[in-house]
Amino acid sequence: MRHALEGSATLIGFCGAPWTLFTYMIEGSGSKLFSKAKKWIFAWEQDSLNLLNTLTDILVIYMKNIIKSGA
């Protein structure tokens, strides 16, 4: 994409935050109260931490690849 733009525009990289992705996974959509996500965290504390850590690790790899691609 960077090459296709030929310097005519800035290319930025983006990814959602681990918490945002976690809540979408649990809630199934956007939420204002995060009631399902909160219940999930209290019911499965360690699993929630593991999932958030996994999401963080994956997002770091994803963003590094975006940077390598020229964003």
For 40, other C-beta atoms within 10 Å of its C-beta total 19
Q: What are phi and psi of 9, to 5 degrees?
A: -155, 155
Cβ neighbours of residue 25 closer than 8 Å, sequence gap 6 or more:
51
Per-residue pLDDT of the chain (71 residues; tens, 9 = 90+): 778 888 888 888 899 999 999 999 999 999 999 999 999 999 999 999 999 999 999 999 999 999 998 88
Tell me the domain boundaries of the chain: 2-68
Alpha-carbon gap, residue 71 to 65, rounded angstroms: 9
Cβ neighbours of residue 45 closer than 8 Å, sequence gap 6 or more:
none
Alpha-carbon gap, residue 18 to 49, rounded angstroms: 11
